[in-house]
Every structure is written in structure tokens, then in C-alpha cells.
Amino acid sequence: MRTDPPALESRLPKVGTTIFTVMSALAAECKAVNLGQGFPDFDCDPRLIDSVVSAMRAGLNQYPPMAGAAPLREAIAAKIGRLYRAAYDPATEITVTAGATQAIFTAVLAIVRPGDEVIVLEPVYDSYIPNIELAGGHAVTVPMTPEFRVDWSAVRAAVTPRTRAIMVNSPHNPSGTILRDADMRALEAIAVESDLFVISDEVYEHMVFDGEPHCSASSYPGLAARSFVVSSFGKTFHVTGWKVAHCAAPAALTAEFRKVHQFNVFTVNTPVQHGLADYLQDPAPYLGLAGFYQRKRDLFRQGLAGTRFGLLPCEGTYFQVVDYSRVSALGEADFARWLTTEIGVAAIPVSAFSEHQVDRGLVRFCFAKKDETLKLALSRLARL
């Protein structure tokens, strides 16, 4: 009797273990300061924990509605309305998801058919292209400029009769740049002219610095009418392990989104949803987030200014990209490993966000860490 499994043809033959998992494991093995994977090393507001515990003790522990608990969807719609002057019906246009990655994948599955093309901007977050390929689509990468700006003429030139959607991410991971009003209007013009969907990944929406506004796709009528707008409670409230996010989209788009959502996740845990709904009644935590992370950015950048790293602008997110060309001639992946094993600080090579692994001598640090963690990392980096 044969005991070997049937031959399996991979749906993702080019995909292995993500660089984030690899570098976090290496950091743990080497006892390095992990500034690679993007998660805080500090806890959330105790009031948020209290709200979730209260929901549990109140018996809110069974299945919620498939689209999400009504109080949370109402709180999300109210928040979007206050911030971006956009009206979303919480009953038909807001869906609570198991993290932003699930929301993005669900949006892709809802709209992309075999043979469709989806434009993505490179560097591109690592889940986008596999999502498109799993849906049977083809990702068309449009490189950003060396300064990590979008060349909208190149985006327009990439549109073909088979183009179905454009995916954007602002504030942008990994570069830390943002899309401004002119960018959003250029995106809107292209999407409307070519009748395209837009998936707008806005998980760092509350981390925009130096007084700049976050330009949400929901603020632009031509975009809002064709966009899935995704944001993350995990990023906003320092609870990445909870994996709770949301997607806002017009009712017709949401109906298709929910058809997929109900069969790949169905719903998200109940007490956390009710805890978040209660916590959102006070806007101070998310309104103060930009100032909170700007202080950490400034602390980190000031420390790096005394090293041989070249600092690229950081306009948003909690990531800082540096040029290490004055430190080493190693390729990015090799330098990131060397930095982890020999210096004791983990980073992520920016080339990991490129389909063709283009090396420019750049790595990304995460500064969503306690001040003492950042200072320890800086003391080690000062040896370079």
C-alpha cells in the first residue's frame, strides 16, 4: 500500500516563508533587538483590556453577526464620517474582518477573475501579489520613483483592457511616504476613466506626521464609489495579535465582499468587537497616535543621525528606511542578516518588497518600540 501523498502542484510556487518570519526567528536566536517585524513591544491602553473583559463578563461570547457586531460597525462609520466627511451605512457598507490581510484578500477575491490584471506599486507589501495570484489574476508592478513617490504617468501607461483594479497603500509600507491630495486626484482620474476598482490599504491612517493630513480614498467621491478602504485596529491600538480590522465600501461592493467573507472567515470574535466599540467612543487614543509615534520617530532619527546610515524621509507609519551604503557593500538580505547576527539589531531588507528583489542598499527599521528598546538598538548601531 502506498503511503506517500498525491503529487501537489503549488498554487504559490514562488512563495516561501516570509522575510518577517525569517528575520524575527533569527533575531530571537541571536538575542538581537528586533526592529524588523512591525509590531509594538509595549502594551495597549488598560482601558481597552477592561472594555473587552467587561464584554466577556456580560456574556457577549457567542457568534456575532457575520458582518460584525452592530455597535462596532456604527462606531466605525461614525469615525470615518468625522475624519473624512464620508457617509457609510454601518448595516450595508462596513464589515469587520480578521485583520487587514484578510480584508485585502477578501476584496481581491470579490473582484478579480482569472486573467484579470491588478496594478500594484513597488515596493509592494508582501501579501498583495500572492492574493492576486490565488484569485487567478496577474499582478502588474509599477515601480515607485527612487524617492518612493508614485509616477502616475507610469500607472496610467500600465492600464490595459484587462486591468481590473489598482492597489495602493498610504502611509506606505515599507517606505514611510504618504499619498497627498494631488496623488489621490491622479488615482481618482485614472480609476474613473478606466472604470477600475481600487483597494486602498490605510492601516497606518493615524500615523501621519508633521501636521500632514491623511488623504483617505473615502474622502474622494470618485474613489469612494469604487474603493474597498481597509484599516486596522491592531495597528491603531497596539494590539496586532488581536487581528481585527475593517473594510468600508459601497453597498454593492460590500455585498460581494461579504459573500467571500462569510466563507473564508465568517466572523470575528465577539467580545473584542464590543470592547473596541466601547473604546472608540473616546477619539483621543487614535487622534493622539500621530504625536505619539512622531516622538518615537524623532528619538530614533536623532540617534541614527550620529551613525553612517543615510536617513530617508519618514512621513508616516512606524517604519524608518535607511541607506547603509556607507556602512557595507553587502546586498540587502545579507546585510540584514549580518546586522542581526553581528551587531544585534534586526531589520528588513527593502528588496523583500520587490518582485524582482532589486537591491538599492536599503533596510527598514520599525520604531514602534519602548524608548529603552530604541535606545538599546541605537547604542548597538552606533558601533557601525
Q: Give yes or no for residue 356 having a pLDDT over 90.
A: no
The tens digit of pLDDT for each residue in 137-186 reads 999 999 999 999 999 999 999 999 999 999 999 999 999 999 999 999 99
| pLDDT tens per residue, range 52-83 | 999 999 999 999 999 999 999 999 999 999 99
Instruction: Indicate the pLDDT class of residue 117, thresholds 50, 70 and 90.
Output: very high
CATH of the domain at 123: 3.40.640.10
What does the mean pLDDT of the chain come to? 96
Q: Does residue 282 surpass a pLDDT of 80?
A: yes
Cα–Cα distance between 377 and 283 in angstroms, integer? 32
Q: Is residue 297 part of a domain?
A: yes
Work out how many domains the chain is built from and give that number: 2
Query: In sequence order, which ranges of the chain are alpha helices (DSSP H)?
Result: 19-30, 46-57, 70-84, 100-111, 128-134, 152-158, 181-194, 221-224, 233-236, 251-264, 270-279, 284-287, 289-304, 332-338, 371-381
Looking at the fold, whether 175 and 219 belong to one and the same domain comes out as yes
**Percent of the chain surpassing pLDDT 70:** 100
User: Does 313 have pLDDT greater than 90?
Assistant: yes
| Res. 3 pLDDT band, cuts 50 70 90 | confident
Over residues 193-247, the pLDDT tens digits come to: 999 999 999 999 999 999 999 999 999 999 999 999 999 999 999 999 999 999 9
Residue 357 has pLDDT above 80, yes or no: no
Domain extent, residue 343, equals 19-38+287-381
Regarding whether 239 and 294 lie in a shared domain, the answer is: no
